[in-house]
Structure formats: C-alpha cells, structure tokens
C-alpha cells in the first residue's frame, strides 16, 4: 500500500470511455449509467505530468522527504525508445514525459519503502 497519492496534473484529461458496439452487444460490460467508465487521454507531443501528494503536501520538495525520493518510469510505451522521464531539480515528486507516438502508456511512480502507483494514459 503506497504512503502517498498521485495524479495527473498536466497534459491529461478524463473522458468517458465509449465502447464501439459489436452487433447488438457492446465490446465489454456496460457500466451503470450514473457511473460510466472513464480514462485518461493525452496528445502526442504534449508533456504529461504526474504529481505525488505526501501527507497532504502536493509536489513536496526532496529536502522534506527524509531521503525517500520518488522514482518514475514508463512500464509501457507506444514508442521505442521510450520517452525520457524528468523532474524539476530537487522535486522528484513531480514526474514528466512527452509521448512521441499515439497509443497506450503506463507510468509507474514508486517511493522507497513507500509502495507504488500505476497510471494509465491513452495518447492520440
């Protein structure tokens, strides 16, 4: 269980997931109408940013993390080589990458002895 939360803070929007119909059947189980499935989407060439929150502080600076810094990496990428991942100097709780091709990307944000969170985004 991670000891932090994290979310997209730039380059991603949340949209309702619309399944294409296959004959009279949808391609997967329909959600409850008042709770539709959602997904994150972004655009090729637009920087995506993910920011961690630790003990209520969004984007905490490394000097206040007690040596337990964040590590971010792309576990799945629609392009090879994978886009570079970067952070502002002294702020590993903010991770960024710029997708170079359309497709699905999975970003993993981890913290030593603090768990990890997977973030999925579809790039068009």
* pLDDT tens digits, 44-88: 999 999 999 999 999 999 999 999 999 999 999 999 999 999 999
Q: Is the pLDDT of residue 28 over 70?
A: no
Distance linking the first and last C-alpha atoms of the chain: 32
> What total of structural domains would you count in the chain?
1
Pairing mode of beta strands 115-123, 38-42: parallel
Nearest Cα residue to 51 out of 90, 92, 23: 92
Phi, psi angles (nearest 5°) of residue 31: -80, 170
The predicted pLDDT at position 30 comes to 65
Q: Is residue 22 part of a domain?
A: no
Q: Look up the CATH number of the domain holding residue 96.
A: 2.60.40
Residue 101's domain spans which residues? 5-14+41-123
pTM for the model: 0.87
Q: Is the pLDDT of residue 107 over 70?
A: yes
Q: Is residue 76 part of a domain?
A: yes
Q: Is the pLDDT of residue 19 over 70?
A: no
């Amino acid at each position: 269980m991670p000891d932090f939360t994290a979310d997209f803070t730039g380059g991603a929007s949340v949209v309702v997931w619309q399944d294409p119909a296959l004959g009279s059947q949808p391609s997967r189980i329909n959600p409850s109408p008042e709770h539709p499935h959602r997904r994150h989407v972004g655009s090729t060439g637009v920087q995506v940013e993910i920011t961690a929150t630790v003990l209520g502080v969004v984007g905490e600076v490394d000097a206040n993390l007690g040596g337990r810094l964040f590590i971010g990496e792309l576990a799945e990428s629609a392009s090879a080589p994978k886009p570079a991942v970067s952070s502002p100097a002294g702020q590993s709780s903010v991770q960024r990458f710029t997708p170079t091709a359309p497709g699905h990307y999975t970003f993993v944000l981890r913290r030593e002895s603090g768990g990890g969170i997977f973030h999925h985004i579809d790039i068009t």
